[in-house]
Amino acid sequence: MSAQHFDVIVIGQGIAGLTAARQARQQGASVACIEEQMFGGLVININELDGSIEGSGTDLASNLMLEASEAGVTMLSECVTGIDTADGRLIVSTDQGSHNAAAVIVASGAKLRKLGVPGEAEFEYRGVASCADCDGPMYQGADVVVVGGGDSALQEALVLAQFCRQVHLVHHGKELTAHKQLIAAVRANQKIVEVSPFEVTAIRGDKGVEHVDLVNCNDRSTSEIACSGIFAYIGLEPTSGFAPEAVRDADSGLIVVDASLQTAMPGLYAAGAVRAGYGGMLEHAMADGEAAARAAVAHALSKG
């Protein structure tokens, strides 16, 4: 594939990325938006959005995708492998070639962190799941385990409780860290049982998940829970491995930006869950996308 030239390249077609691509194109820039997987990011797994943005995650992402496409954004289905500079422009390398632009916005988001225990990879799609809205009906009348004590874990536990006989909420802390209203809702739901302070050490079964092994965080005693599925929500990892090391925090992998969302590499910006300091809400993702687009277009125009 021959190299394609754009004013702005956006990496990622989640909410931040699609918002950035649409905004940059509406400002008159030539824009490409690159995504390896399905557009929308993690939000497409949410049937009913919380907060100021209403509707489903799929509807929100689909509308943004349509608006960006109709505005004239070039959508590329490729895997980004690196970002470099040459002759004053940024070069985005992919599994299908390379593209260059005056400015690049990394909006590749984040992925759910894995437990990293035996059986997790083996039983993926056979009881190890990540989307309660998508997979909940498959566990009608069954027992499942949800791992985590934050907002996502409690939200998913409440969704699963609509289908499952019992939801075991396993977390390692002394207290849940979710918002108070979510904690109150979980504790008022008789189908949800808190299991703490415990950590999952293994996932076992034959053709599918049958048991989850636990260790007590205090006395290190062991136990198990019989279940048909396990859903882990223990945080996110930024999808930033393709970005230059110089712009990533060594410990977290998050991309470090200044107030304009520009990194230490001139012309390279980051928006959404992939960057340090991200607010965490959908409205923050959209605000990031718009801000990064304005800054990126201004940078591109300054380059002529």
37 has pLDDT over 90: no
Measured between alpha carbons, how far apart are the two ends of the chain, in Å? 26
In tens, the pLDDT along 158-209 reads 999 999 999 999 999 889 999 899 999 999 999 999 999 999 999 999 999 9
| Residue pLDDT, tens place only, 102-122 | 999 999 999 889 999 999 999
Q: Which of 294, 300, 304 is nearest to 101 (CA)?
A: 300
- Cα dihedral angle (193, 195, 196, 201), rounded to 10 degrees? -150
Q: What SS3 class is residue 258?
A: coil
Whether 4-111+236-302 and 128-232 share one fold: the answer is yes
145, pLDDT greater than 60: yes
| Tens digits of residue pLDDT in 127-140 | 999 888 889 999 99
Q: Where are the domains of the chain?
A: 4-111+236-302, 128-232
**Residues above pLDDT 70, as percent of the chain:** 95
The domain over range 128-232 is classified in CATH as 3.40.50.300: no
Cis peptide bond N-terminal to 197, omega within 30:
yes
How far apart CA 245 and CA 123 sit, in angstroms, is 33
Q: Rg of the chain's alpha carbons, rounded to an integer?
A: 21
pTM: 0.82
Q: If DSSP codes are grouped into helix, strand and coil, which group holds residue 242?
A: coil
Q: Which CATH architecture has domain 4-111+236-302?
A: 3-Layer(bba) Sandwich (3.50)
